[in-house]
Structures are given as C-alpha cells and as structure tokens.
Amino acid sequence: MMTMERSGITTRPWSWRTPLLLLLLLVFLFVAGCCVRAAEDEQMRGGGRRRSRRRRAADVMVPITILNSAVEKGAVCMDGTPPAYHLDPGSGGGNRSWIVNLEGGGWCNNARTCRFRAGSRHGSSDHMERSIPFTGIMSSSPSDNPDFHSWNRVKIRYCDSGSFAGDAFDEQLKLQFRGQRIWGAVIQHLLDDAGMASAEQVLLTGCSAGGLAAILHCDQLRALLPHAATVKCLSDGGLFLDAVDVAGGRSLRSYYGDVVAMQAVAPNLPNTCTDHLDATSCFFPQNIIDGIKTPIFLLNAAYDVWQIEQSLAPNAADANGAWKACKFNRLACNASQLQFLQGFRDQMVAAVRVFSDSRSNGLFINSCFAHCQSELTVTWNGGSPALQNKRRFARILTSP
C-alpha cells in the first residue's frame, strides 16, 4: 500500500477501512458555484481549443524529452514524429515513487479532424511545447502538492488521438494511429533507462482522454512492474458515459464507434469487457471499471461540462439551439433542462455503484460543473470542495 510520511503522520491512499467510501459516493451536495471550471483542451469535432492558464511564479517549467528510439518500434505520433514526455525527477523520500500522467486532449474520428490534429501538438511532437508547467497533482511545490511533490513526476504527451489505445496506419490519409505502441515504448523506456523498474509506488493518472487512457492501461501497467511495487490508478474527468443526447440519439457512442474502427482500438481493450460486449461499448469506462483488478480512484464531476456540451447537447443534436445557452451557463437552464441534467448525474451514480463496492477502489464525484480537477492548483489544493474538513482532493485520496 502506498504510504507517505509528512509531519509524523502516515497517510494511506484510499484504504477503505472507514465509512469514507460511502461518504464519497454520496457527496453530491456541493453547489455548482463551489468549483472552478477547469476544462482540458477537449473538443469532439474540430481539433480542440486552447485555454489560457495563468502561470504562477512557483510553477516549474519541465523540459521535453523526444524519444527518438521509439520510432524503430513504430511508436510514432500521427505525422510520424517521435513520441515525447516530460520528467521532473523525485527527491528525498520520493525517489522511488512515481506519478505517470497521460496527457488528455480529445480524439479524432474522421479525415477532416484527424488531418487537423496531425498538424497540432496533439498529433505531432514537432508542434509540442519545449517545456510545460507541472501544476496540481504534478506540482513540485510542497504547499500546493504536499503528498506527491517529491515523487518522480512524468507526463507522457498525447499525439495519437485515440487515448493511447490504437494501432493502425491509414494509407489514404498517411496518418499513424499508434497510441498503444507509444504507451508501450515510453513505459519501457522509463523502466529501463529512467529508474522506474525500482519503483516502490506508482500512480498512473490522466485527465479527460488521458483519464480514459489511465483506466484502459491500469492493469497493463501493473503487469509491467515488479510484483513488490504498489500500483494504483487515478482517472480524472475520464468517466465518459454512453448517454442519450437531447435529441434521443447517442452522439458519443457514434463518435467513439468511429474512433475505435478508424484506429483499430479493439485488440487493445480489456478482454474482460470484449468477451461479452462490442468494442465500442468497451471504450466506455462504465463497461470497463468493474473488471479491472488494479485499484482505481475515480475523480469526476457529476455535471461534467465537456459531456454536457459535446455528448448530451452537441450542435448536431440541438438543431434549434434550445440548449445553446444552458450548456454553457447552468443559470440559463430551464426546469426541464435541469431535470435532464439531473438524469445524467443519476446515470453516473448508477454507473459506479458496483465499482464502489470494492474495498480497493475509491471515488470522489461532486456536483460541480467542471471537467478535470487534479492538474490545476485551484481545484487540487486551494479551491477544492471540503469533506469532513478535508480541503483538498489529495487529502481525500490519501485518507486512511
């Protein structure tokens, strides 16, 4: 079990020997205004939108490492460039503890959106920032991130557009979809050349599309690490639901179906799901989480703004624009729309009911209008909701 010593206190991540798990499942009492909307660069159609982030003086800029050796393994970005990662080494008591963070950033499902992404940082290491700030759960600041600041923290950049799960080459488009190979090549490099093979604790995390990837690869990482290492996973904003949209269709299911087919994702999905469900269903976390053996912690907003905007009320399902105002501003929603959103929240609660019965798993689902909450300082530390006088998600995650 992961333990962290601080001020003479030993903390243990999601050890469910208290009624905390039930409390977490029932935490839907926070008003929407308690959270800061922290949406990752997610956009289902069109290639994503950049959101500016205010950089603090305490933020450390972490340089990029281009993994050229991965090319010979066919582990390449969409345009054929090598994959990349950023590593901030651990220190002191964190030397043998690792956070492996899978970057998020949406997906692509057709020629137009995939061509666009191939010319962006989500499809090419040539377009990636040469250094990025590590914040929230990735921060090196003891005050912002007291539990994990001294760990080895690595962010694997996202350039395959399939949640690190595809393995295909589109001859017509001349685009590579090699997410599974990127995952394997970078993890093997960290094991062989960066010291992760001697890790005592490893936490696999990810936000949004990276949160989905963390779920998909959770057991895979466990299998690659020594048996003595403690391995757990944290999916932030990755609980995408197979929900009915405002027009009565299933927009996200249709979209995911295209992604799975275009990128040949099916062989890399958990066989505990594909042995009884179709591949598209097994790209939805709700159909995967109950079969994963490695402990997982789910952090999600019950009113996930990305899912509201792009899955429940995308423009294609809202031809008359009735949801245009509501989906971007909850205060503009009428009673019927609020009831519809409440139904989505209820579906999310139902989706994690069996998962929450496991004493090795954990979850924190709040009633915020947000998307991704662990990688921003304001929602990871300073402005996160309180539960039993615990102000940060990290304190809840590590409570005994």
Give the residue numbers marked as catalytic.
208, 304, 371
29, burial (CB in 10 Å: exposed 0-12, middle 13-18, buried 19+): exposed
- How far, in Å, CA of 92 to CA of 95, rounded? 6
Are the C-beta atoms of residues 293 and 270 closer than 8 Å to each other? no
- Token readout for 90 is 């651990």
Q: Where are the alpha helices (DSSP H) in 40-178?
A: 111-118
- How far, in Å, CA of 135 to CA of 138, rounded? 5
- How far, in Å, CA of 133 to CA of 53, rounded? 10
Q: Residue 321's Cα: distance from chain center in Å?
A: 30
Q: Which helix (H) or strand (E) holds 133?
A: strand 131-134
- How far, in Å, CA of 224 to CA of 107, rounded? 26
- Token readout for 52 is 């500016």
Angle ∠(103,109,115) on CA atoms, nearest 5: 80
